[in-house]
Amino acid sequence: MTVIVTDRGFGPDDQSGQDIVDLAPDAELAGLHARLGDLALIRIDFPGFADGRGFTLARRLRLMGYRGRLRARGHVLADQYAMARRSGFDEVEIDDALAARQPEAQWLRRADWRSNDYQARLRG
């Protein structure tokens, strides 16, 4: 089973299998550009919590004009949630084991990701 993390906390996966693309962290995006408007969900895999390439992919997809749901999937920690949201992800998909180790309260502490932005504090 998996848990979907959003700014509201834990929830079930409500996305069906249609119009979904799964991307590896080293995926090339050039061939995907023409299909962006047709995709309901793009999931980017995080094979390890120290692998930040997925954050870069998310940002690039948003800059390319993707407006659909963007999901980080795999080894994303609660401490990385704010970074995931700032880079363009709408949600994070974690397994039940990670949800047990890092309960919903830990994720919700990072849900106010806009006000906890280091660069915004420097500008403000």
Global pTM value = 0.89
User: Quick one: what percent of the chain has pLDDT higher than 90?
Assistant: 79
Residue 103's H or E segment, with its range, is none
**CA–centroid distance for 35 within its chain:** 20
Is 2-94 a domain of CATH 3.40.50? yes
Q: Domain ranges in the chain? A: 2-94
Mean pLDDT across the chain, nearest whole number?
91
C-alpha closest to that of 81 among 112, 103, 50:
112
Rounded to 5 degrees, φ, ψ at 107 are -70, -40
- Which run of H or E residues covers position 93? strand 91-95
Q: List pLDDT tens digits, range 80-90.
A: 999 999 999 99
The pLDDT tens digits of the residues spanning 35-91 come to 999 999 999 999 998 999 999 999 999 999 999 999 999 999 999 999 999 999 999
pLDDT bin (cut points 50, 70, 90) of residue 113 is confident
Residue 119 has pLDDT above 70, yes or no: no
Q: Tell me, what's the pLDDT at 124?
A: 65
Contacts of 91 (CB under 8 A, 6+ apart): 4, 5, 6, 69, 70, 71, 72
Q: What share of the chain is helix, strand, coil (3-state, %, to 5)?
A: 40, 25, 40
